[in-house]
Structure 1
Amino acid sequence: MMQMKRTLLAVLGAISLSACAQAPEADATGTPSKAPVVSSPMLPATPEPAEGTPEARALAAVRTLNPNLQPEQIGAAPLPGFREVIVSGQVVYVSDDGRYMFLPGQGGALYDTVSERSLSEASLAGLRRDLLKTIPASERIVFAPANPKYTVTVFTDVECGYCRRLHSEIAEYNQQGIAIEYLAFPRMGIGSEDYNKMVAVWCASDRKQALTDAKAEKSVPEHDCKNTVSMQYNIGQRAGLTGTPMILTEDGTQVGGYVPPAALRETLDKLAAEKAEPAAVGNAAPGGNAAAGGA
């Protein structure tokens, strides 16, 4: 999955995240910019390992992310059945058959290089989905078209540049059939000036206008009330949020960072198609789900 590759590349230092812990920018067509070549100018290049060795398979696995990645070191790992690869100052463990990559720096993410999927994501998505359910619908600031095709949750901040950029394109997201449900994540922390601004937004009589004004650096009258900003912030932390914006699908899958409107629609369409494929196969197969429905 393209988003997973972006995330892994970011962890490995191949893509520099913005101050808002953001996915790489896309060009005008919505295509992500290519990752730069990663090399270590102070050290000689690591010799290419002999073909057919675990080290060679480990190198090939890492290069499924970016063919230009040049590890500083490849050797035996303290974990039996794995090689240890050091690239851009990060340690990656690759199974000796080259199929699985384990990144301790990604909260223990396990990546399948064949299916190009995070095997940890399903568990994380389920956790995020359950956490989001604890936040009442009345506490979300919603910008939606009349009949949305998709709904995403976006943890946002009024100070983050990419959050502001996303919000400046809110009409385009809606035109793409995407409803945006905002939750608060004041990245400066509870009690900060940033936090107070978000409390003012959530306590405003017109939250949508107050959020729009705050993101445009317009003054929002300071206001305090019984609110869930702290709760939303804590839920964001538990969901694994490290920066804003964070875009989550209805099932809890993370799809960004800032993603341009057309690119987000494309991503959501692909995810929907992937989910539909197993069901289609099962229904078509002899003795599949359709036949197993029973009386």
Structure 2
Amino acid sequence: MKRIIFAVLGAISLSACAQAPQGAAAKSDPAAPAKTAAAAKGSAPEVKAGSADALAVEAIRQLNPNVSIDKVGPSPVPGFREALAQGQVVYVSDDGRYLFLPGSGGALFDTQAKKNLSESSLAGMRKDLLKTIPASERIVFAPANPKHTVTIFTDVECGYCRKLHSEIAEYNRQGIAVEYLAFPRMGIGSEDYKKMVSVWCAADRRKALTDAKSEQSIPNKDCKNTVTMQYNVGQRAGLTGTPMILTSEGIQLGGYVPPAQLREALDKIAADAKPAASGAKPTAAVAVPTGGR
């Protein structure tokens, strides 16, 4: 599970199945984030009012009011305080304005503007990467007149991917078109990979994907396919777990997000993008509610 305090997400973990080493076995528990969230009491160590430590606690609370903060104190980075929030190290500027998450999924947040300052560059890169995958290679589930379109890197074995797909009709009722791309998280050449190749080689890819995600057997097939290409694009896009939801502009909306809440997030992105036409800069980070995450 990749943990991250995402701007105004309201929870510290993305609901996604972690990418496993090739050949390793992995099982996911869709109920785990709920258990984690239930365990979080929003506790924090005692700090002196107005101190840098207090500003650090307040900054973290701006992004997630419910997260438990276990420790806050001096940092090896000048001008920053170091906090430990639910097992993750977080660095907060002494004035409480900027919050940095180190690691492979690191990001820099402006806590006052509630913006992921890293997201703009990453989104543009992801958008360009997605363009390299032909539309014919996507498995699409869409309503007649979609309001929004998302690209989702998916896996047939991941519990969260299966949960998301079990609600695909509701995503479509919410006006959301889903374009699936393959990301066999167990790696190239794994049994997971072979199943996804069989899906992409099937005469009816939509049915084959649905059957595979429902643990029904599908015919083993092999053909000229782009599963490896899609997997590589996912890695270059920074994917560390499945599902990975991306907007048409390359903005990442996390792992599993319930249908109504995904629609709410997409509506907000669309609303924030409108001022861009008049020269205003749109918000880089998005408020994604976390019910069921």
TM range (shorter): 0.7 to 0.9
Q: CA deviation at 1:4?
A: 3.2
User: What residue is the counterpart of 1:36 in the other structure?
Assistant: 40
Equivalent position SS for 2:62: coil
Unaligned 5+ segments in structure 2 are 18-26, 281-293
1:59-95 Cα distance to aligned partner (Å, 9 max, x none)? 2112223345453332222222111222333221111
Q: What's 2:7 paired with? A: 4
SS across alignment from 2:263: helix
CA distance in structure 2 between the aligned counterparts of 1:128 and 1:155, rounded to whole angstroms: 12
1:193 matched residue in structure 2: 191
* 1:8-23 superposed matches below 5 A: 9-10=12-13
Q: Deviations over 1:143-196 (max 9, x none)?
A: 112221111001111111221222122222122211110000111111111110
Query: What does residue range 190-269 of structure 1 map to in structure 2 within 5 Å?
Result: 190-269=188-267
Residue type matched to 1:60 in 2? E
Aligned counterpart, 2:93: 95
SS at match of 1:183: strand
The 3 A distance-change label for structure 1 pair 73 and 262 is closer
Aligned partner letter, 2:7: M
Pairwise CA distance, 1:228? 0.7
Runs of 5+ in structure 1 lacking a partner?
27-32, 40-44, 283-295
Matched, 1:121 2:119: yes
Aligned residue for 1:4, secondary structure, equals coil
- Aligned counterpart, 1:141: 139
RMSD: 2.7
Residue 130 of structure 1 and its aligned partner are, at CA, apart by: 0.8
C-alpha distance in structure 2 between counterparts of 1:24 and 1:249, whole Å: 26
Q: Which has the larger radius of gyration?
A: 1
Q: Do 1:3 and 1:255's aligned partners in 2 also have CA atoms closer than 8 Å?
A: no
**Which structure exhibits the higher relative contact order, with contacts defined as CA atoms closer than 8 Å and separated by 6 or more residues?**
2
Change (3 A) 1:190 1:216: same
Residue type of the partner of 2:41? V
1:180 pairs with 156, 178, 181, which one?
A: 178
* One-letter identity of the residue aligned with 1:9: I
In structure 1, C-alpha distance between the alignment counterparts of 2:31 and 2:232, rounded to whole Å = 22
Question: 2:288 — aligned with what?
Answer: none
Partner of 1:293: none
* Kept after mapping to 2: 8 A contact 1:22/1:243: no
CA distance in 2, matches of 1:136, 1:172: 26
Task: Describe the shift of the 1:234–1:76 C-alpha distance in structure 2 as closer, same or farther (beyond 3 A).
Answer: same
Deviation at 1:101, TM superposition (A): 0.4
Please give the alpha-carbon distance, in whole angstroms, between the structure 1 residues aligned to 2:15 and 2:147. Answer: 32
The equivalent of 1:291 in structure 2 is none
Spell out structure 1 runs of 4+ moving beyond 4 A: 15-26
Structure 1 CA distance for aligned equivalents of residues 127 and 10 of structure 2: 20
Q: Does residue 274 in structure 1 map to residue 277 in structure 2?
A: no
SS in 1 for 2:113: coil
Please tell me the residue identity of whatever aligns with 1:148.
Answer: P
1:29 equivalent in structure 2: none
Q: Determine the C-alpha separation between the residues in 2 that align with 1:75 and 1:218.
A: 52
SS of 2:229 mapped into structure 1: helix
1:211-251 C-alpha deviation (Å, 9 max, x unpaired): 11111111111110111101111111111111111110000
Counterparts of 1:152 and 1:263 in 2: how far apart (Å)? 14
Is residue 102–residue 111 contact of structure 1 (8 Å, CA) maintained in 2? yes
Match of 1:112 in 2: 110
Q: Residue 148 of structure 2: which of 147, 150, 171 is its match? A: 150
For residues 99 and 251 of structure 1, what CA distance do their matches in structure 2 show? 27
The percent identity for this pair of structures is 66
Asked whether the 8 Å contact 2:16–2:241 carries over to 1, the reply is: no
Number of matched residues?
Answer: 265
The residue type paired with residue 61 of structure 1 is: A
> Does 2:54 correspond to 1:56?
yes
CA distance in structure 2 between the partners assigned to 1:22 and 1:244 by the alignment: 12
